[in-house]
Structure 1
């Protein structure tokens, strides 16, 4: 896609808001391969998602070749006073392995 904002979390939030008919998702949880970037974490906060589960870290994503702002989600939530709960390290090794698979894909594009 050429939509730089089309991260998995953003796409999931868009679909959930459409399905629920609301922008408040306060009884919802999100599970994602990687720690949300600042854009995604802000959107998860705005949607009032209760819990975010993730495996790989932003640092892992950067090492895999993604152009990440290395601002950990936990720090962003602390600075902003957000009540969203983060649950890290869910299947972390398996999530990191997905980055390795992506790097080997002939159409992988680093950005």
Structure 2
């Protein structure tokens, strides 16, 4: 790994810690514990940091990633091709599709859909990479960043009724 790659990895971890804090905030508010950040890759500016609000908004589309896209798009317009998404959870098919439409450059996530299925924390067994491939999109994906830290968000809700 080059020095530049090591620095980028540290940045991913820093952004993931922010997403994790958003996920913690989500749990405190009575939501599902998902957090997301959208960052302009070339300068590291965070343009959105948020969490899921499905329960408090009574809106099943209010996933952390969708909320982040909405915030970032208000600031930058609908083309987010200079940005990456950092999320505590692999984007679901709905969120992955929205990220494709937003032309996001890359996705960095912590806990995979496969791992979430084992915890009873998701319903649809379709990875973001499968969806990106089927859409012929050119979004890169970085997996497993701070996974052990972020998985605690989902384990803490395991005994509660799944979504």
Please say whether Structure 1 and Structure 2 have the same fold, judged by a TM-score greater than 0.5.
Answer: yes
Question: 2:64 aligns to what?
Answer: 8
| Unaligned 5+ runs, structure 2 | 1-54
Q: How does 1:1-111 map to 2 (within 5 A)?
A: 1=55, 2-20=58-76, 22-103=77-158, 108-111=160-163
The SS at the match of 1:65 is coil
Deviation at 1:65, TM superposition (A): 2.2
Distance 1:43 1:87 in 2: 18
| Unaligned 5+ runs, structure 1 | none
Question: 2:24 aligns to what?
Answer: none
Give TM-score scaled by structure 1 length. 0.88
Distance 2:74 2:123 in 1: 28
Deviation at 1:48, TM superposition (A): 0.5
The RMSD of aligned alpha carbons is: 1.4
Larger RCO (CA under 8 A, 6+ residues apart): 1
Give TM-score scaled by structure 2 length. 0.62
Distance 1:4 1:61 in 2: 18
Cα pair 2:121 2:158 within 8 Å, conserved: no
Deviation beyond 3 Å, 4+ runs, structure 1: none
Q: Give the count of matched residue pairs.
A: 107
